[in-house]
Amino acid sequence: MITHPAFSVEPWCIRERELHLDVLAQSESIFALANGHIGLRGNLDEGEPYGLPGTYLNSFYELSPLLYGESGYGFPESDETIINITDGKLIRLLVDDQPFDVRYGRLVGHERVLDFRSGTLKRIAKWISPSGGGVQVCSERLVSFTERSVAAICYEVEPIEDRVRLVVQSELVANEPLPSSSGDPRKAIGLGSVLSSEDYGCRGLAAELVHRTASSGLIMAAGMDHILDGPDRTESSCESYPDMARVTVTTVLEPGQKLRIVKLLSYGWSAERSRQAVRDQVAAALTGARHTGWEELLASQHKYLGEFWDRADVELDGDLEIQAAVRFGLFHVLQAGARAEGRAIPAKGLTGPGYDGHAFWDSETFVLPVLTLTAPQAVAYALRWRHSTLPDARQRAAELGLRGAVFPWRTIAGKECSGYWPAGTAAFHLGADIAHAVVSYLGATADEDFEREVGLELLVETARLWCSLGHFDSSGRFRIDGVTGPDEYSAVADNNVYTNLMAEQNLREAAAAAERHPERAAALGVEGDELARWTKAAAAMTVPFDERLGVHPQAEGFTDHEAWDFAATEPDQYPLMLHFPYFDLYRKQVVKQADLVFAMYLRGEVFSEEQKARNFAYYEALTVRDSSLSASIQSVLAAEIGHLDLAYDYLGEAALMDLYDLERNTSDGLHIASLAGSWISLVAGFGGLRLRSGRLCFAPRLPEQLSRLAFRICFRGRHLRVEVTPLEASYLLSIGKPLELEHYSEQLTVTTGKVLVRPVSPPSVLDRPSQPVGREPMSRQAGRRRANRAVRRPRSNKNEGSQS
């Protein structure tokens, strides 16, 4: 996308200077706005043309049956699919009876700007109608971070030269037609018209539509209200029907006059409350938004984001594309989770219907680590959602003949939605991933109330799973057989190293938390014998090692498999899962995404430096990165080992996954985990950050292409700024009590107002490892040259990233 001539590279925004319909669907994902509760794709205001219309409410879904040619015990029966709900973005414009449609007449000017500091999508369009009337349309759209159920659009029209007669139709539309679905499992299945009208009405300039889903039984309401400012004799009317409501505004504009419409939107849904209660909630939110007004909504949005960037910004010297991309990524990660409040964080956020709106392990292992150190309240919300699904997880465990909790591989509301059990049900590592997220959150916040009320139970139930799933063998080692690790090209394997090491941590942390809260643990049925079993299993955990090769097999026996024939694999046969049968992938040495490498990142203390280097080189030659999750983790380990140029290349792939549309599916929504991965690559990779036993540890170093990296994090109520150059690192505490941290194992105490500076250790000189033929990461050298040519420098810092 940003390589397209319509886009420029800027540090605080994504700017589109021309409209190209060939990338319309991709731009709709990139320009999406959300707050974790509401999601609006970046569709044009007038609704058409579109690539994929989309308006979403987090966790509002419909059920559909999962069909099997041959059913089996424990197979999930229903799928949950996110719904394209009532579209309130629509503002249709007629100029002298000609509909404003960019495919007709002449579009003589177009610019859209996604501004990361104001949290808005701005648009300016100049259009000459087929009959010759010319108008300039300026719109600005936001989804509020401060008023959770509110979105708003400021829409302004003025004539370019001559007098024009305008009709504006502001609409709510349910059951919009959607493009047909494809066979790509990463995309949405595309349910049709699934909303059934329950109620509708309008009064003055306001209207509401209420709908219910047939199978899931969820009820939702959408409402709109308007504030008009136009010349005398501006007239308006309102009408409503089961699937559509419309406010029509009619006026005549002379040169120099302007019509301004502020459209206020509100959305709400419930699985339990009545139709009237949900409708009243939406009406109340609209009343509040009208009282607040557009300017105050805009100011609140700017203030919210200003506080976020003060504690979360990342600065980069040497690569303008990555600078823009990491802020783009942070902005969308925040949009995905900021106001989810007890709901899931889907893999695509609320930017599109990809993966049917499901949440995966991506949330706990990629998104939550970023939010833990930048917006920790959002992490508490996300983990409380997991906690709320414990009844379903316990039921699933019992169904599989296990104790504890088996959390779903893919879900919206808590039920397992994966119909392919080798990659779904068998991926038990999700339980340990959740436990790891709990431990990381507690380490970064010291939130004792959360640990007692939520964290302990999540740790206990996942620990029970491991003791039920695994067993002690004749030699006294604890084994976990028949599971699928992060690498979904190696399913149902014994003693996956990632799974075992994460389970070992889960067991130890559960025991420690139970000892810290004995009364609460007793209420959960935890007794001394169970604690002892957890501790014993953790101490005896099997971690396979291939003595012949001197590397860890990612699962027992993996290094004995036949190698995949990469030389005979054509470039258009990637991703492999779309071109080869899974059974062939499972029995060969080929890796979809970093698996053993991920274990070395999250459990790095278990591996020696030599083992890390040998393991990394071995798996580099096997990893094809058919998952967008892989590049960032490979970047982190490459940086730690000393392959700084390679780490830099992988950083580029993670950060530009959607801005370059590398997977050719950005049109279906953004890859939120990969966007989070760009932050992980910079902060954990080149910043060398690790969180160990509640302490921040740093081992920074930069590739020669970057002259400076600075990032901010919040940790236990403190705000810390870290700056790294090729020769030194500095630490500055801006808010909070003195903070103890480590710099290359040196103990430091950072206090407010005093910068601590320490030297950066140079990396070892290592030969760059090889990747499978044709699967090398893109070189960042070309990207840096392209960015330098495309950059559009602002006139001053005050206007940096704003629309001119």
As annotated, the active-site residues are 488
Owner of token pair 């902005």: 331
Segment (H or E) for 419:
none
3-state secondary structure (DSSP) of residue 130:
coil
Owner of token pair 């889960």: 506
Owner of token pair 């990969």: 674
Beginning with the edge strand found earlier in the chain, give each strand of the sheet holding 739-743 in spatial order: 690-692, 695-698, 739-743, 746-750
Give which of 628, 624, 646 is closest to 637, Cα–Cα: 646
Q: Report the half-sphere exposure of 532 (CA within 13 A, side-chain side).
A: 3
Torsion (CA) 473, 475, 477, 480 in degrees, nearest 10: -30
Segments in 294-389 forming alpha helices (H) = 294-312, 320-337, 362, 368-372, 376-388
Which burial class, exposed, middle or buried, applies to 498 when counting CB atoms under 10 A from its CB (0-12, 13-18, 19+)? Answer: buried
3-state secondary structure (DSSP) of residue 531:
helix
Segments in 136-207 forming alpha helices (H) = none
Which burial class, exposed, middle or buried, applies to 9 when counting CB atoms under 10 A from its CB (0-12, 13-18, 19+)? Answer: buried
Tokens describing residue 184: 């790509």
One-character DSSP codes across 42-103: ---TT--S-SS--EEETT-EEEEEPP-SS--TT---EEEEE----B---EEEEETTEE--TT
119 φ/ψ sector (left φ>0, alpha ψ -120 to 50, else beta): left
Give which of 87, 140, 411, 92 is closest to 267, Cα–Cα: 87
Segment (H or E) for 587:
none
Owner of token pair 């084994």: 479
Contact 633, 677 (CB under 8 A): yes
Owner of token pair 């009364």: 519
